[in-house]
Amino acid sequence: MMKAVLCLLFCAAAVMAADKTVYDFTLNSIDGQPAPLAAYRGKVVLLVNVASRCGFTPQYTALESTYEKYKDRGLVIVGIPANNFGAQEPGTNQEIKTFCSSKYHVTFPMMAKVSVKGQDITALYQFLTDKAMNPQTGGEIQWNFTKFLIGPDGHVITRFEPEVTPDSPQVTSAIEKTLASLKS
């Protein structure tokens, strides 16, 4: 009897975990306000862990141009600052916001700084990197500017490592294909 109850509880937990999407998470905006990712339901989302003092930081230019190109078709880019790699994002949220807006003219949503790996990893990145929940795209974040493409249903479609720029053919093709699904 006890085994049956435990199995039932485990199976229910597994089903609930399988139904989890990025829309189940709330971060804080760069201004400190709660920012539920469910606000992007029905859109195509590119989540990117960013840093201001990284060799990949110039990708902000491509992120902004990609956002400008596709935002009216349903793309949202979400920048998520993290200081996990070489202390390349040491500033406060206000300093990060000022840097992004003055140097790169960022207009896409920016979140407050979080941890994307390690003991203090934020719940969103626990989910994104969990190989059981996301077998195709899970795995520890290796560096800044890792990108996750999220479909309108909140499920992870694909992951791009930092070397793959936001305006590369791989990323733009995946974005366009996913945006086309919005019309279906």
Closest CA to 82 of 158, 152, 38, 146: 146
Closest CA to 163 of 173, 171, 152: 171
Q: Is 11 a catalytic residue?
A: no
Q: Which of 7, 11, 54, 100 is catalytic?
A: 54
Q: CB pairs under 8 A, 24+ apart, for 165-173?
A: 165/59, 165/62, 166/46, 166/48, 166/59, 166/62, 166/63, 166/66, 166/77, 167/62, 167/65, 167/66, 171/46, 171/66, 171/147, 172/66
> Is the separation of the CB atoms in 32 and 64 below 8 Å?
no
Residues designated as active site:
54
